[in-house]
Structure 1
Amino acid sequence: MKRLLVILSIISLFHSFAFAQKKEISQAQTYVKTGKNLDKAEASMRKLLADSANHANIKIWHTLTEAIRLQYEQANEQLYLKQKFDTASLFNIELRMFQAYESMDSVDARPDHKGRVTIKYRKRNAEYLSVYRKNLYNGGVFFLSKQNYKSAFNLFDAFLDCVNQPLFSNNKLSMTSPSELSAAYLATYCGVKLGNSELALKYSSSALDYKPGREKTLQFLANIYSEKKDTVLYRESLKTGFDEYPQNEFFFTRLVDFYNGKNQIDSANVVVDKALMADSLNTLFLYAKSNLLLNMGEYGKCVSICDSLIARNDTLADAYYNAGVAYMNMAFKAEGKSQMKKYYKCSLPYMERYRELAPDQKDKWAAALYNIYLNLNMGKKFEEIVGILKN
């Protein structure tokens, strides 16, 4: 008897719950019909869908999408009539609308208990949403202009996600169209600004196909791979960037530094020579060449380049330093004392000028001038440097 009473109680509770659910759906549908309290209708349907037991209930999904659709249309109408309305809110409603319709489509496409699939709403919903899809892109641009990168990414993401959604399978959407490529680049940019490499990489392959943004995308990727310490992809993105944009100093400096760090001087030299072929008068490229020549022991050629740089700009401190070091190295390798002094005398004006231009770089010029003054018997100046080194 007790067991029967428990069963009856459960049945009664189930019927009470079902009645309450039916009443809640009915109330939401009334809101939808009247076009009022649509936010309440949306909230109540989302509450029901929070219960996994209701997730396959197409009636709840249909009521939810209708509630959001009307909110969006009312907001659009207010903007059209130039009535006061929050533009950001409009785009957020649209985002919720697309997400809700896509979720509903996945339920609509489920097979029945016999394995049959009868998709009832897809064609109509896809036709309706296609009219407004471009506004997802526009919303992303809007939020981007406000530097709200997270919201911007969400809108671009929703715009691009439509390409892979079964809901739009008959729309022939493609990631290679101009709008999609532009959205992919802007989504990548948002991911970078958010400091989120996962978001930045999500559409990066398509962003690379967006020609106006390809150069910047390669820079984004290089920075991301550098942070991830992925040396293979880091070098690959730098090399691709440099090969395509040899005058871009971002790729040039990092690629040369990469090869120098690996002690691959020949590879670094190839990069520098190619850069100089693209721009033979570029100060940075010429300075890098002087560095390589210095490391390769080509001291005379190093000095020659430094002199050409100084002739164009006599305040380039590092050009003086490289020339000074080149002459000092010649002095170290000199066979006789007179030749050694000759090279120290040549180094002297470069190092003293470097000191004037870079007084804070004591760790570089102090030791150099110590050797020069010592070998040239320059007593007072030598004593001054000794004092500096002691301090």
Structure 2
Amino acid sequence: MKQLIAVTLLLLMTTPCLMAQKKELSQARSSIKSGKYADAEKTLTALLKDSTNRTNKRIWLAYYDAVLGQYEQGNEKLYLKQQYDTASFFAKALQMLTIAETLDSLTTDNRKSLSQQLNALRPNIFNGGSFLLRKNKWADAYRYYEAYLDCARQPLFQAYHYDSLDTRMPEAAYWATYCGYKQQDPVLTLRYSKQALQDTTKADFTLQFIAEARRLLKDDELYVQTLEEGFRRYPQFHYFFPRLMDAYANMGQHEKALALTDSALTVNPSSELFLFAKSTTLLRMERYAESIKYSERLIELNPNLAEPYFNAGTAYVNIAERQNDKRDKKLMRQAYQKACPFMEHYRKLMPKEKAKWAPVLYRIYLNLNMGKQFDEIDRLLKEK
């Protein structure tokens, strides 16, 4: 008896709720028929705030129709070149897609009609991402590209085989990867990066974004591997070579760094960057004569570059120190004499780099007994 009373009370409580729901749904449908789509959407979203309504297929279908009506109104205004919020138009397309996917998870009764309709407007999901991308709204643009890509795994679109037939998928993946990179979010950057690499026209940049994501995640091994792949595929792309050189230098892998410069110079023997990298690597490896050779070659190509003068001057100073250890004063003095014009020219080109050239010139002038020049450098070094 008590159980019967409880059931009766539950029915009495539920019936008014169902009646209210039915009334509001009927009201929303009337608004849709009369073209008051925004009013219908407001009513339906209010209904969906109640968790008991979220599995009601009729509410979701009406909700889809309400948003579709607004989308079509916006499309007409844009076609007629009337004033309309373009961002709102694209937002409605994305909203329809989300609603349809939810509805399809509840019932497949409308799958064919919904998929046909959304397949036709799906390019506007891509276009919405591009629109927001141009406005530097990286997070918002990412949502559109992700939705575009996600269609491939949705049962709603299983008949369209987007992964194999949609040629814009790699491009969408690239822009999603780019948006993740611009947000400095390594997880978002990497999410579609493998697919983005299929866009071969932009694979060099994709590898850069992947490398930066690995760096932010402090995954040093994969970071270096990505740099190596990037250099192997795109040796003259601006990003990979200098960072790979830095990585090898930081790990003390000078032989790898030297091999890298050799590979680079086979691609472009007159590259100032590659020649300077080889000069610097040889200097670090204490192969001073070879370092000087590449510095002089670089100076011949471009006399206005400062750093080759510093490398050559430093190499000669180090040679002088070796001769000092051997107590060969003559050869030591000759080496300092050769170092002097290089370091003085570096000073001329880079006067503000006193911390680099002043200590070296101090040592040169001291060992060459150049009193006047030594006194000047001594005063400079004592200045705060």
TM-score by length of 1: 0.92
Correspondence for 2:359 among 364, 367, 380: 367
Between the aligned residues of both structures, percent identity stands at 42
Report how many residues are paired. 380
CA contact (8 A) 1:28 1:45 kept: yes
1:328 match: 317
Report deviation, 1:47: 2.1
Correspondence for 1:386 among 357, 375, 378: 378
Correspondence for 2:281 among 265, 285, 292: 292
Report deviation, 1:126: 0.8
- Whether 1:162 and 2:161 are equivalent positions in the alignment is no
Partner Cα separation in structure 2 for residue 81 and residue 353 of structure 1: 68
Report deviation, 1:130: 1.0
CA contact (8 A) 1:175 1:181 kept: no
Report deviation, 1:13: 2.9
Runs of 5+ in structure 2 lacking a partner? none
2:51 match: 52
Runs of 5+ in structure 1 lacking a partner? 109-118
Q: How does 1:219-298 map to 2 (within 5 A)?
A: 219-298=208-287
Report deviation, 1:168: 0.4
- Whether 1:189 and 2:188 are equivalent positions in the alignment is no
1:30 match: 30
CA contact (8 A) 1:163 1:175 kept: no
Partner Cα separation in structure 2 for residue 159 and residue 331 of structure 1: 66
Give, as a single letter, the amino acid of the residue that structure 1 aligns with 2:298: L
TM-score by length of 2: 0.94
Give, as a single letter, the amino acid of the residue that structure 2 aligns with 1:278: V
In the TM superposition, structure 1's runs of 4+ consecutive aligned residues that sit over 4 Å from their partners are: 1-10
Report deviation, 1:82: 2.7
Report deviation, 1:9: 5.7
Report deviation, 1:161: 0.9
Partner Cα separation in structure 2 for residue 196 and residue 142 of structure 1: 21
CA contact (8 A) 1:126 1:168 kept: yes
Deviations 1:84-142 (A, max 9, x none): 2222111011110000000110111xxxxxxxxxx311111111111111111122122
- For the aligned residues, what is the CA RMSD? 1.9
**Paired residue secondary structure (2:252):** coil
Report deviation, 1:213: 1.0
Give, as a single letter, the amino acid of the residue that structure 2 aligns with 1:13: M
Q: 1:177 to 1:130 in 2, by over 3 A?
A: closer
1:82 match: 81
Q: 1:4 to 1:170 in 2, by over 3 A?
A: closer
Report deviation, 1:369: 1.0
Report deviation, 1:209: 1.2
2:40 match: 41
Give, as a single letter, the amino acid of the residue that structure 1 aligns with 2:172: A
2:72 match: 73
Partner Cα separation in structure 2 for residue 176 and residue 374 of structure 1: 75
1:111 match: none
Partner Cα separation in structure 2 for residue 263 and residue 147 of structure 1: 40
CA contact (8 A) 1:175 1:206 kept: no
Deviates more, 1:13-22 or 1:158-167: 13-22
Partner Cα separation in structure 1 for residue 283 and residue 140 of structure 2: 51
